[in-house]
Structure 1
Amino acid sequence: MSNTWKDSWKAKLNQLQCHFTWTPQKENIDLDDMKHRLEDLIQAGVKFQAMSYNHLAFINCLQGNCEEAIQNLKEAERILRERHEDEFEKRILVTYGNYAWVYYHMDRLEEAQSYLDKLETVCKLFPEASRFTAMIPEVYGEKGWSLLRSSRKYYEESKECFKKALEEDPDNTEWIVGYATVLSRLEMFSGTTAHHQPRESVKWFRRVLELDPDDSVSMVLLALKLQELKQKEEACALVERALQKSPDLLYVLRYAAKFMRKEGDLERSLELLKKGLKIAPESAFLHHQVGLCYKTKLMPLIKNPNLTKLPKLSSRQVTELINQCKHHFKKASENRPLTFVIAKLDYAVICSLNKEYLKVEEIFSNLLKFEQMHPDDKQSVYLQAGLFEMHHKRSESNAIAYFLEGLKFKRNSLEWELCHKNLIKIATRQIDRNQTDSKAFGILGRVHQLTGEKRDAIECFEKALQIDCDNEEYISALLELRLSLQAQNDSPN
């Protein structure tokens, strides 16, 4: 196919609304991880499986598995014909668009054209449609789910898609669940609009259950939010109801287990997680939750000051718990090496407790090489690396360097607060030991500078320069701060 011919084809295909024209592309997602998660969704028997097959077709095509992608699309089409016959034309638009793209990548242009023709025919059913696509709730909704499942960086865009779908179809539980889920996730993260808002997701999960009282997955997701809000009685009742209604549904098992762990019922949590692992043995989420249960059992024993005096049975118990934690955290992080950073950090914590320091340093080094890592995750890495250097390697200078890097990210997170707290603690301790420690005043200056406290930063750098008058770093920082304050004072009100 000539480049000119290919470009003209691509211009037509770029008009479609489907996975190939939405934001996430090969360089922005971990394809293997995404494939595993989609296969887990399909295996778990979640609702609306056609969307999962559509998304899986896109991933398979990006990996060069075009024949497999076609089979995924055939399965999506079959499900839509069987389960959504009355709204087939509304729901098939994304699938037909994906077909056209996959056949284009296979250089089978006749088949690609046949799906463009089908799209053109279907689009005539919708008054405001363009030639090849119609921006209807079903398209906005599927795009919302695709972005939600792809990466944290697309959550805000996903939220907007669900809002658009709900504007025209306000009682559709498929879009309400998506909207509630993305709000719930945004509420968890720092630096997002939703982070400072009340628990808006609670309202939307309640709306799902008003419209569909049997939605057991929404029951456990609502329960987790209520647990955060200390509404324990209602939360517990929802979890028990969900388990009674759907005792073998993977997504009920995984979130119910998480709820039980946070309530302190570790044995019940482990029971549910092991049941889930029989359904999805490679699930990174389940392995991580199992590891967290064992870590919760381990930490009181590790923190016991009389650990060396414990009977042999307890020592063996500690060893066994460490091994269980390592196994499950390693399994979780291996299955999602680029996206499940928290599992890798938990693995590093256990290795540090086991004095496997070279392994820990290797983990941090590899994590900090990931260019695509989300800023929240990178901040977590800097915090944990700093804590490791401070508590295990006894290197305050290395810990300071990591904590300062952690402060460069957005505030309003626990990680930021801990980086800030530890830097103040280290610098204050050093000054108490030695009133002429210029480096300690320099650290305080950098902390105040990064937190926007310019006058306090200037005062600290001036004290540092009284002790170390030729330090170029302090002179440069002081000059920058004074110029910034002057510009601020000179600016019109």
Structure 2
Amino acid sequence: ISRVRKSETLKTLLLQLNCHFTWRLLEKNAEIDELEERLHNQLEYLLNANKYMVYNLLSYIKYLQGNYEEAIANLDEAEKSSLANAAGVKSKLLVTYSNYAWVYYHLKQYDKSQLYIDKVNGVHEELSHISNAKDSLPEIYGEQGWSMLKFGRKHYEKAKECFEKALKEAPKDPELNSGYATAVYRLECLEKKSLDENCESLDLLKRAVELNPNDSVVKALLGLTLQDLKRADEGLKYIEEALEQTPNLPYVLRYVAKFYRREGMTDKALGVLKRAVSLIPNSSFHHHQIGLCYRNKMHEKKKLSRTDPQNKRTYTREIQELLQKSIFHFKMTVELKKTHTYGYTDLAQMYTEANQIVKAEEMYKKAFNVKTITEQEKQQIHFYYGNFELKAKKCEKEAIKHYKEALLIPVMTFEKEKCENALEWIAERKIKQNPRDAFGFGLLGFVHQIKKNKIDAVECYEKALKLEPHNEEYLSHLCELRLAI
């Protein structure tokens, strides 16, 4: 009984600790193995003093995998790394000691767990004489923010909050400023909005680069942001500086290549990506970017073949080669990262180009089955699947279904507008062919309703109901709109 009581008492103390076990990182769908691989790559290529954070997170991953021995081994490395680089900053050990306490608790080694709880309290006691900030240590919030960023997009908002809290205590800390700028940049990328001069990440990235001129990754992100803002000449300076600083850092090479590709410098982008793949052969990101480059080159050749029909045979051969290369790299993308939704849709489009309709459809279905799928991604897949049904399978009914599904998702993306246009085009074509087509008017009513053009929507549904008086769907929409007006 006393052992059970001891376990319960310990659990109460453990829940008060600030570490990976209390940060609610665990998700059933988190790509643990893929994350583990990325962290091992970071240990190899990142040379900054924050390796202890990588070991701490690796330890937590090993716990999630049920490998407690490896979890302890990684915490040993984290402790060594902290002591070697912290130069007397004991607060950097707090997360490591807290993680130790949790792992030993799960191993039912309660005395050792208590020992590490005591160590955490000891460090806090020491620090309380210097500062009153027991619960607002910037190192802890910084490490939490960093871990949230690594654990995936669902945690980006929380990561941003953590860095904000840390910066209140240490506003000029270079690493914290880099982390905060990165979190905001990633959130903006997720929202997929077209950026304007007021975009939040621009000033944050500039500040991070000023405070930390050696951080080539943040420099590359600044370059990409300036490119998004149609200031590519300015962005190129940062991109080339980042590349010069760390010519063999895969995390910089990926962003440099993205910049070159989007600027139409496809061969330059491919050169950089091939170097990145030679360093990290199993990066789904790099393979996806290579696939996009070959796809761009294929489209360029297609344009040339239309303007230069005399060399059509040569172009046809080159187009086929580029198509196969693109398919190869998109396949690698989804094999290496099973949750890469854009990898599936890009591969599906290439299979459609190759007239492999069954394989293309299979990829769209796989994309929908990704467990970590976002609303934006769902909308995008519905759009491309709709196009596929309309153009490749000549099935207008299924295409309409996908376009409508996309419009019912309450997020704003470029694809949403495309779906609206596609449905409007189908509806107007139907009405032109047959002015008594109730379905055409009903479809146009739906598009107006989505666009919040209530008066136009009512008019269309009324016309549809005149032609098909017992249609419950039109009646329901009409009632809803009239009440709203």
Are 1:365 and 2:359 an aligned pair? no
Answer with 296-305 or 45-54: which moved more.
296-305
Are 1:119 and 2:120 an aligned pair? yes
Question: What is the CA–CA distance in structure 2 between the aligned matches of 1:24 and 1:451, rounded to whole Å?
Answer: 38
Q: 1:472 to 1:133 in 2, by over 3 A?
A: same
Question: What is the CA–CA distance in structure 2 between the aligned matches of 1:321 and 1:260, rounded to whole Å?
Answer: 19
Normalization by structure 1: what TM-score? 0.91
**Uncovered stretches (5+) of structure 1, i.e. residues with no partner:** 486-493
The one-letter amino acid of 2:63's match is C
Q: Deviations over 1:330-370 (max 9, x none)?
A: 111222212x2111211111111111111121222232234
Question: What is the CA–CA distance in structure 2 between the aligned matches of 1:367 and 1:5, rounded to whole Å?
Answer: 48
Following TM superposition, by how much is the alpha carbon of 1:477 offset from its aligned partner in structure 2, in angstroms?
2.0
1:395 aligns with: 395
Q: Secondary structure at the match of 1:410?
A: coil
**Kept in 1: contact 2:136–2:165 (CA 8 A):** no
**Kept in 2: contact 1:123–1:129 (CA 8 A):** no
The one-letter amino acid of 2:273's match is L
Question: What is the CA–CA distance in structure 1 between the aligned matches of 2:112 and 2:15, rounded to whole Å?
Answer: 17
1:179 aligns with: 180
Are 1:234 and 2:240 an aligned pair? no
Question: What is the CA–CA distance in structure 1 between the aligned matches of 2:483 and 2:363, rounded to whole Å?
Answer: 41
Q: Deviations over 1:131-151 (max 9, x none)?
A: x97331111111111112212
2:199 aligns with: 199
Q: Secondary structure at the match of 1:127?
A: helix
Question: What is the CA–CA distance in structure 1 between the aligned matches of 2:313 and 2:106, rounded to whole Å?
Answer: 63
1:459 aligns with: 459
Following TM superposition, by how much is the alpha carbon of 1:401 offset from its aligned partner in structure 2, in angstroms?
0.8
1:12 aligns with: 13
Question: What is the CA–CA distance in structure 1 between the aligned matches of 2:308 and 2:40, rounded to whole Å?
Answer: 44
Are 1:353 and 2:353 an aligned pair? yes
Following TM superposition, by how much is the alpha carbon of 1:244 offset from its aligned partner in structure 2, in angstroms?
1.8
The one-letter amino acid of 2:135's match is A
- Equivalent residues in 2 for 1:88-127, closer than 5 Å: 89-127=90-128
1:58 aligns with: 60
Q: Deviations over 1:211-263 (max 9, x none)?
A: 23232222211111111122223222222222222111221211111111112
Following TM superposition, by how much is the alpha carbon of 1:314 offset from its aligned partner in structure 2, in angstroms?
2.5
Q: Deviations over 1:74-117 (max 9, x none)?
A: 22211111112231x11111111111222222222232222111
**Kept in 1: contact 2:344–2:366 (CA 8 A):** no
Are 1:222 and 2:222 an aligned pair? yes
Q: Secondary structure at the match of 1:86?
A: coil
Percent of pairs identical after alignment? Answer: 39
Alpha-carbon RMSD? 2.6
Question: What is the CA–CA distance in structure 2 between the aligned matches of 1:426 and 1:183, rounded to whole Å?
Answer: 39
1:82 aligns with: 84
Question: What is the CA–CA distance in structure 2 between the aligned matches of 1:44 and 1:221, rounded to whole Å?
Answer: 18
2:427 aligns with: 427
Question: What is the CA–CA distance in structure 2 between the aligned matches of 1:307 and 1:64, rounded to whole Å?
Answer: 61
The one-letter amino acid of 2:388's match is F
- Equivalent residues in 2 for 1:365-384, closer than 5 Å: 365-384=365-384
Q: Deviations over 1:413-456 (max 9, x none)?
A: 21211111211111112111111111111112222233333332
2:139 aligns with: 138
Question: What is the CA–CA distance in structure 1 between the aligned matches of 2:393 and 2:112, rounded to whole Å?
Answer: 62
1:68 aligns with: 70
**Kept in 2: contact 1:16–1:133 (CA 8 A):** no
**Kept in 1: contact 2:344–2:364 (CA 8 A):** no
Following TM superposition, by how much is the alpha carbon of 1:22 offset from its aligned partner in structure 2, in angstroms?
1.0
Q: 1:58 to 1:195 in 2, by over 3 A?
A: farther
Q: 1:334 to 1:80 in 2, by over 3 A?
A: same
Q: 1:433 to 1:8 in 2, by over 3 A?
A: farther
**Kept in 1: contact 2:195–2:228 (CA 8 A):** no
Following TM superposition, by how much is the alpha carbon of 1:129 offset from its aligned partner in structure 2, in angstroms?
12
Q: Secondary structure at the match of 1:470?
A: coil
Question: What is the CA–CA distance in structure 2 between the aligned matches of 1:367 and 1:128, rounded to whole Å?
Answer: 55
Question: What is the CA–CA distance in structure 2 between the aligned matches of 1:197 and 1:104, rounded to whole Å?
Answer: 51
Question: What is the CA–CA distance in structure 2 between the aligned matches of 1:474 and 1:365, rounded to whole Å?
Answer: 30
Question: What is the CA–CA distance in structure 2 between the aligned matches of 1:195 and 1:33, rounded to whole Å?
Answer: 31
Q: 1:103 to 1:195 in 2, by over 3 A?
A: farther
Higher relative contact order, structure no. (Cα contacts within 8 Å, ≥ 6 residues apart): 1
**Uncovered stretches (5+) of structure 2, i.e. residues with no partner:** none
Q: Secondary structure at the match of 1:126?
A: helix
The one-letter amino acid of 2:292's match is L
Question: What is the CA–CA distance in structure 1 between the aligned matches of 2:347 and 2:134, rounded to whole Å?
Answer: 47
Are 1:344 and 2:348 an aligned pair? no
Question: What is the CA–CA distance in structure 2 between the aligned matches of 1:305 and 1:98, rounded to whole Å?
Answer: 63
1:167 aligns with: 168
Question: What is the CA–CA distance in structure 1 between the aligned matches of 2:308 and 2:42, rounded to whole Å?
Answer: 43
Q: Secondary structure at the match of 1:85?
A: coil
Q: Deviations over 1:39-76 (max 9, x none)?
A: 23223225322212211211121111221222222222
Question: What is the CA–CA distance in structure 2 between the aligned matches of 1:167 and 1:75, rounded to whole Å?
Answer: 30
1:412 aligns with: 412
The one-letter amino acid of 2:181's match is A
1:488 aligns with: none
Question: What is the CA–CA distance in structure 2 between the aligned matches of 1:310 and 1:200, rounded to whole Å?
Answer: 49
The one-letter amino acid of 1:362's match is E
The one-letter amino acid of 1:75's match is E
1:489 aligns with: none
Moved over 6 A (4+): 1-4, 194-197, 306-309
Are 1:480 and 2:480 an aligned pair? yes
**Kept in 1: contact 2:202–2:222 (CA 8 A):** yes
**Kept in 1: contact 2:427–2:441 (CA 8 A):** yes
Following TM superposition, by how much is the alpha carbon of 1:467 offset from its aligned partner in structure 2, in angstroms?
0.8
Normalization by structure 2: what TM-score? 0.92
The one-letter amino acid of 1:331's match is M
**Kept in 1: contact 2:72–2:103 (CA 8 A):** yes
What number of residue pairs does the alignment pair up? 482
Q: Secondary structure at the match of 2:171?
A: coil
Following TM superposition, by how much is the alpha carbon of 1:169 offset from its aligned partner in structure 2, in angstroms?
0.3
1:243 aligns with: 243
Question: What is the CA–CA distance in structure 1 between the aligned matches of 2:427 and 2:282, rounded to whole Å?
Answer: 45
Following TM superposition, by how much is the alpha carbon of 1:377 offset from its aligned partner in structure 2, in angstroms?
1.2
Following TM superposition, by how much is the alpha carbon of 1:119 offset from its aligned partner in structure 2, in angstroms?
0.7
